Amino acid sequence: MTKTATIDQVQEMLSHQLELLWNQPQLAAYLPPLMLWGAPGVGKSSVIREICRAQGIGFVDVRLAQREPVDLRGLPVPDGDQVRWLLSSEWPRDPQSRGIILFDELTAADRTLQVAAYEFILDRRLGDLYSVPDGWLICAAGNRSEDRAVAMTLSSALANRFCHLELQPELEQWARWARQEGLHPQVVSFLRFRPQCFFDMKGNLERGWPSPRTWARVATLLEHSEGLSETGLALMVQGLVGEGAGLEFLGFRRWATALPDIPAVLDGEAECKIPQRADQKYALCSGLAHYLWRTPEENQARRCKFFLRVGAQLTSDFATLAMMDAMEADNEEDQLKRAELLMSSSEFSAWSARHGEVLAQMQSRFLDRSAREAEPIETAELDIDNALCIRRAIS
């Protein structure tokens, strides 16, 4: 069985290779390019694009299947009794620049195009015309033949030079990304309630089917559905993720919309009766975390109070789920800031009295995984210094 890699693991390996490349440029010719395999829609190209955005480096996306072999080397131009080559402007020229060149959908390219890419991918050059700057990493991505996508056999000579990784989507990693991107909370809460609907290739793959990509598009659709009838919305949802998953999501959404106005609850303007149905509890928790920080900074402390007041009424599993989502942020500084606001609230002691033991157990498990010794944490001792450990433990 092929060993799969998660998005977090791919990001770790990409970051490691980039650091090696930048700290030891002489390794540029020896670091193996990464080849990401996976079904359509699992985020192969997205993970590379995201790491370039996070690092603030360049990104060049090359689709070989849309090229001709001459496109890689350039155009021959007569110059007297010689021929000059005009290179494509997309190739990075600055020797001090940094980034990733991705040969996306490599398996969709026929053999002639793969052969044309050999020298660039393997030797980081195009004859004497061009050399890839040392700060640029070369990667590739492609679909598997069993995915019923366009997939040619990869040349053995080319395959032998890659480090091959098969990408497997994971719901919680995707949900964390979705929260950071501000995607609609109903999609995240539904997929937590029905994780079987997150990724499924058993249906008609010639129509819409559920994948990380299509669920992100459903979330975008919900955010911009004003003016669209419920019938039109339902048809588009099913067109994106298929009839089965689409109908389940639409049913979940009908129950979710029966919840109180969550921003009004967080502002203390509406009461919140805790629902009995599990799907509504998932929707409530995702909604609370989604809207908690979507308010002017001066109102955040007040919202934290009502967030904790509602959380104190939940069972510990749902309360800690909401707390995990509420502490999610792009960086440690914002995580600590959010933890400080939550834990300095007058309502935190009541919340902690009911759920603090669960958080302490989660922190202990995190510390155990890190091979570090730690004293058991009493409920009353949960403080801001523990915020990041708690956050990491419950993620």
Quick check: is 59 in a domain? Answer: yes
Residue % of the chain over a pLDDT of 70: 88
Q: Identify whether residues 53 and 20 lie together within a single domain.
A: yes
**What pLDDT score does 393 carry?**
42
Write down the pLDDT at residue 256. 84
Q: Please report the pLDDT score of residue 315 as a whole number.
A: 92
Listed residues 134, 168, 202: the one ending a domain: 168
Same domain, 53 and 118: yes
d(CA 357, CA 316) in angstroms, rounded, equals: 9
As for how many domains the chain has, the answer is: 3
Q: Does 130 reside within a domain?
A: yes
The reported pLDDT for the residue numbered 152 is 67
DSSP designation for 214: H
Q: Evaluate whether 108 touches 66 at the Cβ level (below 8 Å).
A: no
Whether residue 162 sits in one domain with residue 13: yes
Residue 351, CA distances (Å) to 95, 171, 358 in order:
55, 27, 11
Say if residue 126 is in the same domain as residue 215.
no
Q: How far is CA 110 from CA 121, 152, 210, in A?
A: 16, 6, 29
Both 33 and 133 in a single domain? yes
- Please report the pLDDT score of residue 387 as a whole number: 42
17 and 119 part of one domain: yes
Q: Are residues 232 and 365 in the same domain?
A: no
Cβ density class 192-214: b for 16+ within 10 Å, e for less:
bbbeebbbeeeeeeeebbbbbeb
- Say if 263 falls within a structural domain: no
Which amino acid appears at position 136 of this protein? Answer: W
For residue 32, the domain's CATH number is 3.40.50.300
| Of 113, 142, 168, the domain-final residue | 168
CA-only gyration radius of the chain, Å: 25
Residues 17, 159 within the same domain: yes
Torsion 330-259-308-266 (CA) sign: positive
* pLDDT score for 2: 58
Consecutive 10-residue runs of the chain (395 residues): their mean pLDDT? 80 93 91 89 90 94 80 74 77 93 86 80 85 93 72 76 89 88 92 92 82 94 92 95 94 86 92 89 92 92 95 91 86 87 92 81 52 38 42 42
pLDDT of residue 151: 60
The last residue of one of the domains, among 145, 168, 191, is 168
245 and 136 both lie in a single domain: no
Flag whether 281 is in a domain. Answer: no
**CA–CA separation, 83 and 223 (whole Å):** 54
Q: What is the three-class DSSP state of 140?
A: strand
275 part of a folded domain: no
pLDDT tens across 65-77, in order? 777 777 777 777 7
- The answer to whether residue 288 is domain-embedded is no
Which residue is listed with tokens 């939940």? 314
Q: Is residue 121 part of a domain?
A: yes
What predicted TM-score, i.e. pTM, was given to this entire model? Answer: 0.74
**Tell me, what's the pLDDT at 92?**
92
- 279 falls within a domain: no
Q: Are 240 and 246 spatial neighbours (Cβ–Cβ below 8 Å)?
A: yes
Supply the range of the domain harboring residue 162. 4-168
Question: Are 386 and 242 part of one and the same domain?
Answer: no
| 37 & 102 share domain | yes
Could you tell me if 205 and 326 lie in one domain?
A: no
